[in-house]
Amino acid sequence: GVHAKRGVSCADCHMPYQSEGGQKFTNHQIGSPLSNVENSCFVCHREKVDALVSDVYERQAKIKEGSSKLQTQIAMAHIEAKKAWELGATEAQMKTIQTGIRHAQWRWDYSVASHGAAFHAPLETSRIISSGMAIIQEARIELTRLLASLGFNEPVPMPDFTSKDAVQTYIGLDIPAERAAKADFLQQVVPQWLKDGKARESKMGSKAVSSSK
């Protein structure tokens, strides 16, 4: 990224210098530079605060747009691959397709694993996303050909990827049941963990006192 090329370290932005009582020291409350633009950014930049903040969000939004499109294409490929398996596709027929899906998935994972990549290295992140998009589109073309050879010549039904509820329903995720399980976990399991932990702590303390005698 442009900052790394200019010798800017992580601490320069995320742990900027500050002064107090005539002493200059590094702020160890690590956080977003946007929460302390004056100390983090103005050491090098001379733009207005609004302009700097807008630049960050603009880069992140553009990367998010590309990664979201790649994510949708990968999901569609998985659904189409499932259809191919259901129609009797063989391991040999699916090998290249599976490799394509996997390689595209790796690129998506790499791009979104660190939300900071969208700002720190937007050009490289965009290149990786574009590469993943090319790979998954080729895999989907192969899937279309394979499905046709298996007698399926129509679009595979897809959920509404813009709706979280629709996708959860499509994959069979029972949100009420999940929430009930979580509530039970918090009410039953966690208190027992805390109780067991305090018991072990008390036991270790007793041993320490005994050994000191």
Co-location of 20 and 101 in the same domain: no
Using alpha carbons only, how large is the chain's radius of gyration in Å? Answer: 26
- 130 near 54, Cβ under 8 Å? no
Average pLDDT of span 136-153: 98
Co-location of 109 and 173 in the same domain: no
Co-location of 144 and 64 in the same domain: yes
pLDDT in tens, 112-143: 997 788 889 999 999 999 999 999 999 999 99
The answer to whether residue 210 scores a pLDDT higher than 70 is no
Q: Is residue 64 part of a domain?
A: yes
The answer to whether residue 57 scores a pLDDT higher than 60 is yes
Co-location of 21 and 98 in the same domain: no
Counting residues of the chain whose pLDDT is more than 70, the rounded percentage is: 96
pTM of this prediction?
0.77
- 139 near 74, Cβ under 8 Å? no
Q: Is residue 210 part of a domain?
A: no
Domain count, the chain: 3
- Measure Cα distances from 102 to 67, 112, 190 in Å: 15, 15, 37
Co-location of 185 and 90 in the same domain: no
Task: Report which DSSP code applies to 113.
Answer: S
pLDDT in tens, 175-196: 889 999 999 888 888 888 888 8
Co-location of 12 and 60 in the same domain: no
- Whole-number average pLDDT of the chain: 90
Co-location of 150 and 82 in the same domain: yes
Backbone angles phi, psi at 48, to 5 degrees: -75, 155
